Amino acid sequence: MDYTRQELMAIATGRELRDGELAIFGVGLSMLAGYFAQKNHAPNLMAFTEGGVFGSTPVGGLPWGIEDNRISANATSFTNAIDALCVLVASGRCDVGIIGAAQIDKYGNVNTTGIWAGETPWQAGRYVLPRVRLNGSGGANEIAIGCKRYIIMAAHEKKRFADKVDYISSPGYINGGHDRQKYGFPGGGPSAIITTLGILRPDPVTKEFYLDAYFPFSSIEEIKDNTGWDLKVSPNVKVVPEPTEQELKNLREVDVTGSLRKK
């Protein structure tokens, strides 16, 4: 079948969402994945954006931002950031969220703030300037602390999958184990990391992410080679099912402009 890694990543992410859930998507890939799920198998998924755009579906292709006209054309309610991010998400009320990551570590902590050349703040004991400044957490921090579970999407490259991220923008399981409880987060933490190569899930006790499944075109070895820590592999490791024709059709109807088809 003809599909891209990005398309399978979006479909695999969409498969994590269930009908009737209250869900928040970030911009870009995660939004496509979410609306794909709504179109494909979860028609009663209640989706909203961090701007408080409720009840809408994208019109004319991938929205440039989570409040632009492509997502605002058929909304049933417009509220605001506090309503969406704090009242519905950080409060612990939202079932599921999807976020992206520039850098991610074995406990699912996400860095979207900066890449340091030499010493990171936690190594240097001071907040030195990053070599590459990224975007900051946006609303991903609220999703990470508050959603009952959330899914992280990331391109599977060694430089992105670090033993320890340079900077925690949005918390996964911090240092693993019961760390989230220590900080009092209402949400349950990341339930999966879905990459361009496969699916990682957290160990129920240690919360270290292990390889749960790989894509048909990938392999355990390729994934281990592209992971910056010694990735454990599930004894029941699976191959992610290929997209069905129906799934691909539905995804491409959401991704009108074909942004995921660029390999």
Partner 1 sequence: MRNKLITMQEAVAKYTWDGMTYAHGGALPVGSDSIAFGREMVRQGRKNLNLISNCNTQQSNLLAAVGAIKRIEVGFAGLEVYGFANGLKRAIETGQTIAEDYSNGAIPLRFLGGALNWPFVPAGGIMVGCDQQWCSGDNPDEYPATNKMPEITDPFTGRKVAVFSVAKPDVAAIHVTMADIYGNAIMLGTEWSRYELSRCAKKVVLQADFIVDTDCMRQYPNLVRIPGEVVDAVVYWPLGVWPQCSVGVYDSDEEHMFAMNAAFKTPEGTEEYVQKYVLSYNTREEYLAMIGKEKIEKITNNPTTFLMDPYRKWIKSDDEIKELEGRAE
46-85 residues near partner 1, rule: CB under 8 A: 46, 48-55, 59-60, 62-70, 72-83, 85
Token digits of residue 68 = 């632009």
119 belongs to the catalytic site: no
Segment 93 to 122, residues that bind partner 1, using CB under 8 A:
93, 113, 121-122
Segment 168 to 197, residues that bind partner 1, using CB under 8 A:
168-171, 174, 179, 182-186
* 216 is a site residue for partner 1 (CB under 8 A): no
C-beta of 100 vs 198, nearer to partner 1: 100
Token digits of residue 28 = 């870009």
Segment 2 to 31, residues that bind partner 1, using CB under 8 A:
20, 22, 27-28
50, 67, 142, 247: which one is catalytic? 50
Q: What is the DSSP letter of 85?
A: I
Minimum distance, C-beta of residue 242 to partner 1, in the bound complex (Å): 27
C-beta of 134 vs 237, nearer to partner 1: 134
As a whole number of angstroms, the distance between CA 153 and CA 140 comes to 12
* 134 is a site residue for partner 1 (CB under 8 A): yes
Instruction: Provide the residue type at 140 as one letter.
Output: A
Active site residues: 50
